[in-house]
Amino acid sequence: MIQKEVRGLVIRTTDVKESDRILTIFTAEMGVVSALATGARSLKSRKMSSTMQFCYSRFLLYKSGEYYRIREAELIESFFGIRNTLEGLALAGYVAEVLSDVTVAEAEEDLLRLSLNTLYAIAEGKHPTDRIKAAFEIRCASIIGFMPDVVACSECGERQGDFYFNIMGGSVMCRACNEKRARAHALPENPHESQIVCILSETAKVALSYCIYSPLEKLFSFTMPDEDMLLFSRATEEYLVNQLERTFTTLEFYNSVKPRK
């Protein structure tokens, strides 16, 4: 019987029978894998702590029928601090649901590293959740093939001032070029009315670029005023959900429980 040892993040669990659990595991070696953990819900099981959602564990797998089965499981990191606040738990749930939608049965080490860094940041509680969420959204979109071009205006190359972020096109336009195009094509006066364009301050645009290109270990190491953060987080959320062409129930829940500013 062929066995495979992998390290992976449990992004979803489904309880079956009296004490079994089917795991959706995002691994570095095989991409996303479904595996059956027999007896994992039993209080006496050695697999219990390592097979819960959000756990990063070492798994020894073997193939049997439709699913891989877990012969052994050893916890590496539980990210226990995620559960300290409802806001943090809601954000972790959103991250997991996005991963369930975008991961495939192919190795994607950068996306796994992003996911682990994001959960660690939530668990540690050293950065605001809105900053963590926004940075995850734009970096995730970039990794899976939807990297936007936000360094400069797509028309004239301007890099300073306020910008308009074309959500569907993945590019930015300076105020002067946007006004010129508006006169020619009668665009709405309020770009948010189109639902595919977001206003970006210069600071918010710089933050977008930073989160796309920065080393993953420094992804959340930036600050900005609250008004710029609002523009930044609105843009990243709109960009990811529109590129994926779907909504997320966990995102709706996160937005309902996060503190209002």
Digit-coded pLDDT (tens) for 156-199: 999 999 999 999 889 999 999 988 887 776 555 555 445 578 99
Nearest residue to 33 via CA among 1, 10, 56: 10
The mean per-residue pLDDT over the stretch 125-141 comes to 97
CATH (residue range 3-77): 2.40.50.140
User: Residue 20's beta-bridge partner residues?
Assistant: 16
pTM above 0.85, yes or no: yes
pLDDT above 90 (res 64): no
Q: What stretch(es) of the chain map to CATH 2.40.50.140?
A: 3-77
Q: What stretch(es) of the chain map to CATH 1.20.1440.120?
A: 81-261
- Chain mean pLDDT for the chain: 91
CATH (residue range 81-261): 1.20.1440.120
For residue 186, what pLDDT is reported?
A: 55
> Cβ(92)–Cβ(21) under 8 Å?
no
> Cβ(29)–Cβ(107) under 8 Å?
yes
Nearest residue to 136 via CA among 165, 168, 112: 112
pLDDT above 60 (res 141): yes
Please give the DSSP secondary-structure letter assigned to residue 19: T
